[in-house]
Structure 1
Amino acid sequence: MLVAFSISPSGPAVDETGGVTEAVAAAIRVVRESGLPNETNAMFTNIEGEWDEVMAVVKMAVDVVAETSPRVGLVLKADIRPGRTGQLAAKVERIEQALGPGGQDGA
């Protein structure tokens, strides 16, 4: 399964600039240390694996943010396709192939 998720701490424990950088970094650190395939972009962290292992990592990431924030928001989107692996990169590769050279639709 693929999961795209975003964790957002709120409340008085946000960092000294009013941002969430340190808490989000702690959550991403949990994901990266999990050993599961993952990537982070400007809006989400994507992770791939079996249901139980992915959800356990998401829970640990939420828990680490909750250590410093009285309130945690979680947005999660999942693509559940049993028997498929390597989709974190393969889905993007299929789109790039469809776009063709130079990012154009087969042109």
Structure 2
Amino acid sequence: MSVLAAFSVTPLGVGEDVGEVVAEAIRVVRASGLPNQTDAMFTLIEGDSWDEVLDVIKQAVEAVAGRAPRVSTVIKVDYRPSASGALTGKVEAVERYIAADNG
């Protein structure tokens, strides 16, 4: 089973420079041991169950809430009971199609 989630955690009420506070969420995700990636807008995390993935996201939000009076969170989930390795597999598939077009 694959539960792939893209999420962002935005601290509110801490000023314009939020990177230091957002880093608290990323620390939680990385400490979880689940496959993950972070880019400029979202963090992706993949696990074997809803509970596993959503628990990490909840902990990440709580870590940010410890440093901000308000937290905004956006979550998008791809649930595929028959899949695994979606975090890298989806990107690899797209890259294969791009390479085929250029070949």
Q: What TM-score, normalized by structure 2, do the two folds share?
A: 0.92
- 1:1-107 equivalent positions in 2, closer than 5 A: 1-11=3-13, 14=14, 18-49=16-47, 50-100=49-99, 105-107=101-103
Q: Where does structure 1 lack aligned partners over 5 or more consecutive residues? A: none
Within 1, Cα distance between the matches of 2:62 and 2:24? Answer: 10
Q: Write the letter of the residue equivalent to 1:80.
A: Y
Q: Which has the higher contact order (CA 8 A, sep 6+)?
A: 2
> Percent identity among equivalent residues?
55
Aligned length: 100
Name the CA distance, whole Å, in 1 between partners of 2:96 and 2:23: 33
What code does the residue aligned with 1:71 have? R
Unmatched 5+ stretches in structure 2:
none
Match of 2:80, SS state, is: coil
User: Residue type matched to 1:62 in 2?
Assistant: V
Secondary structure of the residue aligned to 1:93 is helix
Larger proportion of strand: 2
Give the aligned CA root-mean-square deviation in angstroms.
1.2
